[in-house]
Chain A
Amino acid sequence: DAGVIQSPRHEVTEMGQEVTLRCKPISGHDYLFWYRQTMMRGLELLIYFNNNVPIDDSGMPEDRFSAKMPNASFSTLKIQPSEPRDSAVYFCASTYKPGHTGELFFGEGSRLTVL
């Protein structure tokens, strides 16, 4: 199994540009999570999906952030327009149905730098 796959691994962009981060979860996992990691705030849950449906997006910072999951094997996190304070490492994670192991499988992350 290839694990959770994220792209790009690194993104450098200028303020105001649109950024799209991509995630392919592990096949058969029903839940997909987007986390953001910064030195100041640690790991923050942004949004999660169950069977491609967004369940809780209360962690999305503001309207500039949006996430979609058009099918079971693909999700995107979009920032438009980007700002320097969005600079962080964005992680995607997936897992089985609730009541199973509860273990999250994380991707390698996408490091975003907004200049």
Chain B
Amino acid sequence: AQSVAQPEDQVNVAEGNPLTVKCTYSVSGNPYLFWYVQYPNRGLQFLLKYITGDNLVKGSYGFEAEFNKSQTSFHLKKPSALVSDSALYFCAVSEGGGADGLTFGKGTHLIIQP
């Protein structure tokens, strides 16, 4: 069975500083990895994905994520945080390209302080 762990319930970062939101995964085959963001009272929005190829994936709003197979991690990063980045972030995994239903982590609250 596939699973995702987001070890931090909340991450606090000062505006302008780099941010990292951690994610580790477990799958039996090749992973398809995703990051989504959720703003209050809204649905989830896709940020980026890793399917194959370059381990560093770039996505929306200046976010990027690095796939590390040996550490089974897919951490989300941004070089310089904005207050508007404050939201709930979900890591997700699939073994079927995303169309068989994603397994989501519990989510990490990212709080960017002015």
* A residues lining the B interface (CB < 8 Å): 4, 31, 33, 42-43, 45, 48, 50, 55-56, 91, 93, 95-109
Contact = CB atoms under 8 A, between A and B. Distances in A.
Contacts of B74: none
Contacts, number: 68
Given A98-B97, A102-B34, A45 B102 contact: yes
Contacts of A93: 43-44
A45 B97 contact: no
Interface string B50-70: 010000000000000000000
A108 B42 contact: yes
Interface residues of B, number: 25
A104 B106 contact: no
Interface of B: 32, 34, 36, 41-46, 49, 51, 90, 94, 96-107
Given A43-B90, A98-B96, A98-B97, A104 B102 contact: yes
Contacts of B102: 45, 104
A31 B103 contact: no
A31 B99 contact: yes
Contacts of A102: 32, 34, 49, 51, 94, 97-99
A99 B101 CA distance: 13
